[in-house]
Amino acid sequence: MPPGRNAVLEREVPAPAAATAVERCPLCSGSRRTVLHRLRDPSGRITGDFELLKCEDCAAVYVSPRPADAALTALYDEDFYFSTGWSYDALAEWVMDCIQAARRRRVERHLSSGRLLDVGCGDGRFVQHMARHGWEATGLDFSPSAIVYARRSPSGGRFVQGTLEDYACPGASLDLITLWQVLEHIGEPRRLVRRCHSLLRPGGVLVAAVPNIEGLSARIAGERWWGLDVPRHLVHYTPGTLCGSLESAGFRIVRVRHRSIQYDPYGLLHSSLDRVFTRRHFLSDFAKRNAMDGLPPHEYAYNLAALVALAPLLAPACLATTTVGALVRQGGFIEVHARRR
């Protein structure tokens, strides 16, 4: 998930003096658009207003202005990848393993083994899991802290720090490329998709998972939807815009999946609780043990009480709602499988 080439890992982000207005749609180059929302970075780490613009030609949604690469890169620190206050216990490890195993089973419907590149590999769990199951697996991430973390585990796989553009790899040499929650972070995705196409062998498989801006969760939560993640998510997709982008780069779509147990129910719960919290993203801050930072004790107590009282009621409702969304093919997060022609 490379917005920039050189990671500058620091907490304070300078004012976005170099933020640039996005004049044309990153997917179709159209210039006609309407404003969906005006938003701010909920964390306050990047100042200024951002517009979510919907392209009238292709229905892509994108953020303008786009923060400078250095400001964006600083948002991908350890907190982004890892829940830094909590040590994983056995149950959490088991859940994470189940998630990787489910991903592998979906991928292995198309290919049983081969050379895999996971772009935006984060903590490297998927790559390690695939390596343990016989894949020649490489993880690529622009973030040095992600790569250091991934290499700590002895469980296999190779990890490279950098961007796909600069990644040294012969053309048509890969069997599988995975982009788990990556494309929405890329301001100019067409270049990245073309590069994926050139690295895959003919018949090779690309898997791309993204939030769905047309999904039921996005419609219900509106400008509070967790999947918006302004200004880290730069481009938002619908099933149509994602498939269209891949097809125009030379891929054939083989599957569009609407169910995401990992992200969709939590995302809707997060967005729903944000309606009553005094500070947005209190739930994810709480999970990372950052929730007390900068909050007066009485406000923290109120938010904690709201969380304890409402989460048990809302969680089953969010699970049911997102299940319905998936069944009617309006999942909050989608996964597209495509083959290089």
Residue ranges binding Zn ion (CB under 5 A): 25, 27-28, 30, 55, 57-58, 60
Shortest spacing between CB 141 and Zn ion, in angstroms: 28
Determine the number of helices (DSSP H) and then strands (DSSP E) in the chain: 11, 11
Among 332, 302, 336, residue whose Cα is nearest residue 318: 332
- What one-character-per-residue DSSP string does 116-133 give? EEEET-TT-HHHHHHHHT
Residue 54 or 339 having the CB closest to Zn ion: 54
Q: Using the CB atoms, write b or e for 34-60: b if 16+ within 10 Å.
A: eebbebebbbeebeeebbbbbbeebbb
| Total residues belonging to the chain | 341
Shortest spacing between CB 34 and Zn ion, in angstroms: 12
Residue 62 or 300 having the CB closest to Zn ion: 62
Shortest spacing between CB 56 and Zn ion, in angstroms: 8
d(CA 1, CA 190): 14
Residue 58 or 220 having the CB closest to Zn ion: 58
Residue 33 or 339 having the CB closest to Zn ion: 33
Residue 30 or 85 having the CB closest to Zn ion: 30
Shortest spacing between CB 164 and Zn ion, in angstroms: 22
Cα dist. 89→95, 96, 151, 230 in Å? 10, 11, 20, 31
Among 109, 103, 98, 95, residue whose Cα is nearest residue 121: 103
Residue 77 or 184 having the CB closest to Zn ion: 184
Q: Is 315 exposed, middle or buried (0-12, 13-18, 19+ CB in 10 A)?
A: middle
Shortest spacing between CB 341 and Zn ion, in angstroms: 23
d(CA 247, CA 217): 26
Residue 97 or 247 having the CB closest to Zn ion: 247
The two tokens of residue 312 are: 């048990």
User: Quick check: helix, strand or coil at residue 115?
Assistant: strand
Shortest spacing between CB 96 and Zn ion, in angstroms: 36
Query: Side chain identity at 219, as an amino acid letter?
Result: R
Shortest spacing between CB 259 and Zn ion, in angstroms: 27
